[in-house]
Structure 1
Amino acid sequence: MAIVATSLVSLLVCCGLAWWQWDRFTSANGTFQNLGYVLQWPLFGLFPAFMFWRIRQLKHKADAEGPPIEEPEVPAPRPRPDAVKAPQPETDEDEELAAYNRYLRELNARDQQAAE
């Protein structure tokens, strides 16, 4: 009941603000920005009612489908303790990335030489 009352109050307040913006638009110093607000305020006022309707629709749909079926959780496989992973060589699939990494290695080597 409170949600319906909030939706109605929101609609009334926003329609009042739209009317105020319409008065501003029709005055001597009104701009098209005021006209934009005239069109936006009623949409803002209808938003709580739309959300209430949408939540009810989703709830009814969830109730019609029944409770969700939970699948059993399968544990992730553990690595064997005797398995030793060999370090993977660096491979750059992207040629541009490989060129950039070579450039960074070259800059690092120059810095090392300059520091000595």
Structure 2
Amino acid sequence: MYRSLLTPRWLLLHALFIVATVATGFLAVWQWDRAHEAGGSFQNLGYALQWPLFGVFTIFLWIRLMRMEVHRGDEAEPAGAVQEEAVGPEVTAEAPPVMRRKRPLVPPPAPPVDAGDDPELAAYNHYLAELNESDRRAS
């Protein structure tokens, strides 16, 4: 479960998040010092207050990604193994695997629009259909 957070990819991500968080701290201190120098302005003071917020957001994002990775690992466990433990070893009836329906990448087409419903939209749809047909002929 938590072993997935120790893969080389995640170790690199941990290092990246640590460097980013420390960098935001250094940048906040730098802007704070610039705001108190002779040439400093309220803009430097504003940046000095923004950089810690960026650091907090970095930590939030880091924790969020780790939680997503752990939950993704939990979903990868086979459903049959969990069911066998609940039923017991003496019952060997196999349950069908749980199949989740995947979402299509492209939404289903919208119902056609008649010229009586919306003439402008119907004309535009007709124009798009002509463009699609000319593309098919060209390729």
Higher Rg = 1
- TM norm structure 1: 0.50
- TM norm structure 2: 0.43
